[in-house]
Structure 1
């Protein structure tokens, strides 16, 4: 026997509010018009009744599909899974759908997804993309929100960033504070804004400390290439006592290189990462790294896109980051 699907009128009756209030809350337009407490009461009533809005009818009425595209360099990095989780959580609160689209070449040019999908999308969120990969996005004719990208670029309706420079300054300050002066930088061989900021911030952080040397070894974002880059760094003379890595994957390769050379982490060489992936606590010793709140940047990006779609100027926050000190760093052997 078929059950009757709950309507917005049922939700209004259950929450003791008007249908207009239900429409505002479930349509994501309640801010400034309905109190947060009432909005939560309406959402709770909808959950209790199992209410689902008729998105097809709403799309026809609004001329929108209520679907956003999230473009990421790759799906093999759990950072981007967390970005997606943050964005899709906010999207769900506003009855938006999310489509995840990886660039097939990682950080290279993405195939134009708009040829067949343009009519089925309302906007685009692009995370940590290389400049050459953005041509198709800029030509899509849809509102574009950039995450972890150049805030000075003119291609985006809004940009949401981490304080990447501060994160690298924290990592460098930690290593210098332990007494390290011979430092190698395992730099991601990727032409994106975020990795450029990391390199400049590290050089700046070391510039003010006398007796410091910096060797840079570029590496693709893989454990295997980081292994080779770290081996080059650790077999150079004089050998660095600390490796500062642009990414936790690079740091994992650095730890592997140290072990293969008979070196101990952190007794013989300290290693730091960036991102705080799940990998960071799978390593032994666990990795000192800069934690990026990926879910928060995804959520902020989706909120920015929704604001742009509502015809308003989006707030473009810079999210704070945090150095998490674990067992992969210690004072250099000569200083203990």
Structure 2
């Protein structure tokens, strides 16, 4: 058969594997668990590979009433983080015969037009970042399964939520700085109305406030180098005692803060320690390299897609936040002498 010009069929696969066509359909449709043995499933897959068999997905999807297409809605692609989320989601999707369409919400947040004539007809489900939640009103209607990323699990509009353990990441940052001896903090917060950034501010305030004789001041900036530069410069340019630690909501804000500190004649970390959050490539491109919290973007995307598959199949998604890790580099040190 391998040398024949005729396209192999599921019947050919069944004959080669010594099983029924129904078993072939179950295995290649990834619905074999609990119905056929793992050994049989592997025999079917091996036969399909040897024959070069490719199922007619278009006909199958039309018959089942599914498109096997998922929409991933994220803020504008201004960092590699959401590229990593897409990579992870697409990897899991491909293993199950799904495709992923990436759709960045205009300006990072806010309403977006439906990119399809009818999202409900074109999609099987949606995965969306909470920072792009407003884009969903034109996309989801009332019918499409939805998984939210970085979203309040108690108030999410989705069928499931998948979160990184951002709260623990901020706790790790605060404890690192407190152990170094810092007591006076400036928080450079992202000026974005989003649950994930609310968590960062709340956890930092709670952790620092639990230690006597500490202070914390919060300033806000758009997530941009220029915005962070202007906000940091304005906060530190005046007279009076300066904080010894600057905690930034993400690495891009930290990079803007670096520029402001240099303009003000302040050295990192001699005069002020700086931390970020994300561990983007940017974190090791600036000098000194940035102490930051590493977030596994690809695992985040994988878990989001796995959760959506579970929802589509009527299963309970995996519970538990994805762990994060503080990466200590040269931008933090004990506070210097006054």
Normalized against structure 1, the TM-score is what? 0.90
> What CA deviation, in whole Å up to 9, does each residue of 1:272-306 have, x standing for no partner?
11111121122222211111111111111111111
What is the distance in 1 between the residues matched to 2:38 and 2:280? 34
Size of the aligned set, in residue pairs, is: 335
Shift of 1:317: 3.2
For each residue in 1:180-233, what CA deviation from the matched residue of structure 2 results, as whole angstroms up to 9, or x when unmatched? Answer: 111111100000110001110000010111121111110111111011112123
Q: 2:255 pairs with 248, 252, 256, which one?
A: 252
- Shift, 1:112, TM fit: 3.2
The residue that corresponds to 1:175 in the other structure is: 177
Q: Provide the rounded CA distance (Å) in 1 between the counterparts of 2:286 and 2:40.
A: 46
**Offset, 1:48:** 5.9
What is the alpha-carbon root mean square deviation over aligned residues?
A: 2.5
CA distance in 2, matches of 1:272, 1:48: 53
Distance change >3 Å, CA 205–CA 55, structure 1 → 2: same
* CA pair 258-302 structure 1, distance change in 2 beyond 3 A: same
Q: Deviations over 1:137-193 (max 9, x none)?
A: 452521111011111125111111111111111111111111111111110000011
Change (3 A) 1:116 1:333: same
- Whether 1:311 and 2:333 are equivalent positions in the alignment is no
1:147 corresponds, among 138, 149, 156, to: 149
Gaps of 5+ in 2: none
Structural mapping, 1:159-308, within 5 Å: 159-236=161-238, 237-308=240-311
* Closer/same/farther in 2, CA of residues 68 and 130 from structure 1, 3 Å limit: closer
2:11 and 2:190 map into 1 onto residues whose CA distance is 55
233-242 or 11-20, larger mean C-alpha shift: 11-20
Give the 3 Å change call, closer, same or farther, for CA 238–9 of structure 1 in structure 2: farther
Q: Which residue of 1 aligns with 2:160?
A: 158
Match of 2:28 among 26, 29, 36: 26
After TM superposition, give the deviation of residue 261 of structure 1 in Å.
2.0
How far apart, CA to CA, are the structure 2 residues paired with 1:68 and 1:295? 17
Q: Once structures 1 and 2 are overlaid, which stretch shifts more, 292-301 or 38-47?
A: 38-47
**Residues 258 and 47 of structure 1: CA distance in aligned 2, closer, same or farther (over 3 Å):** farther
Give me the TM-score of the superposition, normalised by structure 2. 0.90
The 1:40–1:234 alpha-carbon spacing in structure 2 relative to 1, beyond 3 Å, is farther
Q: 1:5 to 1:141 in 2, by over 3 A?
A: same
